[in-house]
Amino acid sequence: MKANVRNKSQVYSVGNYLMNGTVFGKGHFARVEEATHRIIGKKVAIKIIDLTCIKEEYARRNLHREPRVMARLRHPCIAALYETMMHGPRLYVVMEAAGGGDLCALVLGARGPARGLPEPRARCLAAQLVSAVRHMHARGVVHRDLKMENIMLDATKQFIKIVDFGLSNVWSAGGALRTPCGSLEYAAPELFVDGRRYGPEVDLWS
């Protein structure tokens, strides 16, 4: 999903949420918008999946896998799942919002002689990432699309939030994963070999 597309669209309501028109990112059949809970005023991010755009039977069968996977996870550096809703042909996945942009934009926007993040800052963010990935794997979750664009920052830009579990799946030692998927620039080679078994190690490669 392309991140940081902060354009404005129509303001409307879905359940208890007021969609304020800010679009964080867009993909082939989904987009992520900012919203506010109308009762408690909490800002959230809502992934809107349009079922009419999903033609593959495999994708339709696994439509609810992303929120089910997210429900397994409880970590300060992983975007929390709040709830899901179905309205017409659309699935709404309500999750924790991270208002600081993505890690890719932070790194590319860094200034200075090194043209990158200062080592202490990079080390701190890397430690958070390692902790979050360790938590995922301990709960049997393989992300399969870890990349800087899927690592968001909170409003302070001091803490990361891993997002976009659309390609994630549950793994166990007795049931290795096989489906080729991921982003070419970050993916482990075995992710693109038909029938090749793999597990959490593909996240470590990324």
113-145: pLDDT as tens digits? 666 788 999 999 999 999 999 999 999 999 999
State yes or no: pLDDT of 2 exceeds 80: no
Handedness of CA 31, 36, 37, 43 (dihedral sign): positive
Q: What is the pLDDT of residues 21-50, one digit of tens each?
A: 899 888 878 899 999 999 999 999 999 999
- Note whether 77 and 56 are within 8 A (CB): no
Distance CA 172, CA 9 (A): 41
Confidence at residue 28, expressed as pLDDT on a 0 to 100 scale:
79
The pLDDT confidence band at residue 103, using thresholds 50, 70 and 90, is very high
74 versus 2: the higher-pLDDT residue is 74
Write out the catalytic residue numbers: 145
Going along the chain from its start, the domains and CATH numbers come out as 2-96 (3.30.200.20), 103-205 (1.10.510.10)
Give 109's pLDDT tier (boundaries 50, 70, 90): confident
Residue 112 in this model has a pLDDT that exceeds 70: no
Query: Is beta strand 160-162 parallel, antiparallel or unpaired with respect to 151-153?
Result: antiparallel
pTM above 0.85, yes or no: yes
pLDDT(7) > 60: no
Per mean pLDDT, which of 51-55, 98-102, 108-112, 147-151 is the most reliable? Answer: 147-151
What dihedral do alpha carbons 80, 85, 87, 91 form, nearest 10°?
50
Render pLDDT for 173-193 as a digit per residue (tens, 0 to 9): 777 788 888 888 898 988 777
Residue 26 contacts residue 5 (beta carbons within 8 Å) = yes
pLDDT for position 5: 47
pLDDT score recorded for residue 95: 97
